[in-house]
Structure 1
């Protein structure tokens, strides 16, 4: 499905967000606070738009995505970025590898989000930081009603005019509607081992920016078997 929307993915998202996507991206970058030389993992990076924004700081950003179609488009647009095809539930990275891990609008697309959060914890260095930008539940009833009406009546028309695969965006609306609220996601993040968990709403709660930290003295058991060696 994501291979099918890769070509016009960024354009469609920009229109669907009513121009808010750059604002959300900027807020995410500020929350990650990338520094020169840091190792940052951007999961569900898609075509690399968020990764490129993080890399402007001088950080070494790895853009990981499950979709080869997205990666193909991303490599053409951002040839200086490092793209890796990866399953968020079984990340192909060593323990304690990254100073920060972030994912924008991708956690709800993972089959087992809690398993993905555990993997993010595993590959993060002790003292590292997690930032998740994801659709959420508007905090007030009037905004929830307006948002529901937008997804039901307005979004299909926009998608039909801008997307290379309009049918795929039916899934988008369903995944947003079925996704849990801010408090539930915060509980999942704590359950994965993160501390100092907090969130703040963006655009009246249509989107929420979640943060967490891996304890500085945290250690995880290695889950990758070492290569076997033979002796003569």
Structure 2
């Protein structure tokens, strides 16, 4: 068989197929992070048993002196105890004992010495309440005995008569220290039993007035 040849040239070689460009995967966007809420301070529960202190009853002791215009100036010192209660007007109740200095009443028939011994009950409330100042009204009642003794012309034994009175007053209290306060109290009282003292046969020596004005002061010690 005859061979078939190709002129002048090399036999062309089949070219390699071109590589397809590599496919690039689409870039995925990072998911947006959710926004965080602003931080708030954690709630703290108060420990058990640490509630605010409740108002409590206050107890106090004191000494007082009072001057009254009971036909003459009568000076009466005393001692008392008081209990204060929590509330809108901070009411307090005071119970005390008092004994006056002897007051001599002079007449043309002789001289009589008068002396009052009494138990006093007082209730007060505060209308003005400041850190160190309190102002308010008071109601008071007194009960005891009025003693009388003839000094001249001849000394004699004392005679006693019942003494009852009631009245009203205004009170100012200044408390510069937690354990101590000073008070000023002034008002009027009316004797419920109007005593009369006479030299026989009918010489009037003393008669209780209808109204007795008074002014007093007190030093109060407050117990813790």
The question of a shared fold, defined as TM-score above 0.5 by the shorter chain, is answered with no
- Relative to the length of structure 1, the TM-score reads 0.21
Structure number with larger C-alpha Rg: 2
- Relative to the length of structure 2, the TM-score reads 0.21
Between the two structures, name the one with larger relative contact order (CA 8 Å, sep ≥ 6): 1
